[in-house]
A and B are shown apart, each in its own frame.
Chain A
């Protein structure tokens, strides 16, 4: 493998031929924001967050699929790129129902983290408030389409690593939806191996393990009555 020398954000680095800009930058300690990228599965260049500027190329190119070349000059953090990244995130937040406060992924959500790190303070676009359902039929996992950003990481791990092909995308455009088998309930799936890789790969709260949602938090109302009676009436008949 031949080595290539290139410049990323003014820093001279060497990389192996065949490496992507994202790999080369990561090795050099330069962080490029990503969302649809997932280490270990093939890249699709869909989320457009890792777009970079390359001197001599009018178009912005995704770092996750762009291969290194000798003498390349790459900028990953220009004012223009930062602006586009913020707008991309705003568009995602306005597209479906991302309500962090009641989300299973609150605090460990990649979308939320990116919004903070990219300085997206608020969403200027109108929320579309679509009505998406939640598939809770699987005995171990659930899928909330309201939180889905269609990054297709789940589809790719199911296909590329597990090899089951249970998940795919149906429809197109804004009506795209992650499906299980023939768009049936997850619990009825014949092909799902219940390996859980899709849940692990999900960057948001769209795929989750059962028992972890806010709605599932158990509240024993009888205990409240017991304490009230104990404190006020001095009766401990639990």
Chain B
């Protein structure tokens, strides 16, 4: 197609054995990929590990994974953005995940989210300007028997109210 011949481009650089930044986490990630025999179908497992190591998946990390699994970068990016568990932006120091499953919703989880949004002046999925608190919502964490549930920095806490949630968040804000 087209009359102009495409310009010759340099082939993509060969995957470096480790990362030029010298960051040890890349080495750990590479060992993990090796354990999975660099299998392309292990992409999601590798991304889980990468997020565990780096906290979120920045372009550099995604490219590193793509090179080592020999996958097109577009495929890696497509997978990383399909699944809500993967974060492409850094999170705040603390995370507050409000479960918005049906049981939590009918028991007032929406009021909890509203309270936090109003107090911190951020929307769900955002982080405060001082980078202290990220507010997230979950589809259902399967803790319906103790609804409404909120996860503070990985700890599931039962029967939360707007007041109890703000109490916890204020502790973080003041710290």
- Chain A contact residues, CB within 8 Å of chain B: 140, 164-172, 179-183, 190-191, 193-197, 199-200, 209
Complex alpha-carbon distance, A196 and B2, angstroms: 8
CB of B45, distance to nearest CB on chain A (Å): 20
Contacts A168-B78, A171-B82; A140 near B73 (Cβ below 8 A): no
CB of A167, distance to nearest CB on chain B (Å): 6
Which of A168, A191, A195 gathers most chain B CB within 10 Å? A168
Q: Which residues does chain B contribute within 8 Å of A183, judged by CB atoms?
A: 77, 81
Contacts A171-B81, A172-B82; A194 near B6 (Cβ below 8 A): yes
Complex alpha-carbon distance, A196 and B72, angstroms: 18
- Whether A140 pairs with B9 at a CB distance below 8 angstroms is no
CB of B121, distance to nearest CB on chain A (Å): 23
- Whether A166 pairs with B1 at a CB distance below 8 angstroms is no
Contact with A along B8-37 (1 / 0, CB 8 A): 010010000000000000000000000000
- Whether A197 pairs with B1 at a CB distance below 8 angstroms is yes
Q: Which residues does chain A contribute within 8 Å of B2, judged by CB atoms?
A: 140, 194, 196, 209
Q: Which residues does chain A contribute within 8 Å of B59, judged by CB atoms?
A: 182
Partner of A165, one of B1, B4, B74, B81: B74
Q: Which residues does chain A contribute within 8 Å of B73, judged by CB atoms?
A: 181-182, 191
Residue of B nearest to A199 (CB): B1
Complex alpha-carbon distance, A171 and B12, angstroms: 25
Complex alpha-carbon distance, A140 and B2, angstroms: 8
B71-89 CB contacts (< 8 Å) to partner A: 71-78, 81-82
Main SS of chain B's interface residues?
Answer: helix
Partner of A167, one of B63, B71, B74: B74
- Bin the interface of chain B by size: 20 to 34
CB of A154, distance to nearest CB on chain B (Å): 11
Q: Which residues does chain B contribute within 8 Å of A195, judged by CB atoms?
A: 1, 6
- Whether B12 pairs with A190 at a CB distance below 8 angstroms is yes
Cβ contacts A to B, 16 pairs, < 8 Å: A140-B4, A165-B74, A168-B74, A168-B78, A172-B81, A179-B78, A181-B77, A182-B66, A182-B74, A182-B76, A182-B77, A183-B81, A190-B9, A190-B12, A196-B2, A197-B1
- Whether A182 pairs with B63 at a CB distance below 8 angstroms is yes
Which of A172, A183, A195 gathers most chain B CB within 10 Å? A183
Q: Which residues does chain B contribute within 8 Å of A170, judged by CB atoms?
A: 77-78, 81-82
Q: Which residues does chain B contribute within 8 Å of A169, judged by CB atoms?
A: 78
Contacts A165-B72, A168-B72, A172-B82; A179 near B4 (Cβ below 8 A): no
Complex alpha-carbon distance, A199 and B1, angstroms: 10
Residue of B nearest to A196 (CB): B1
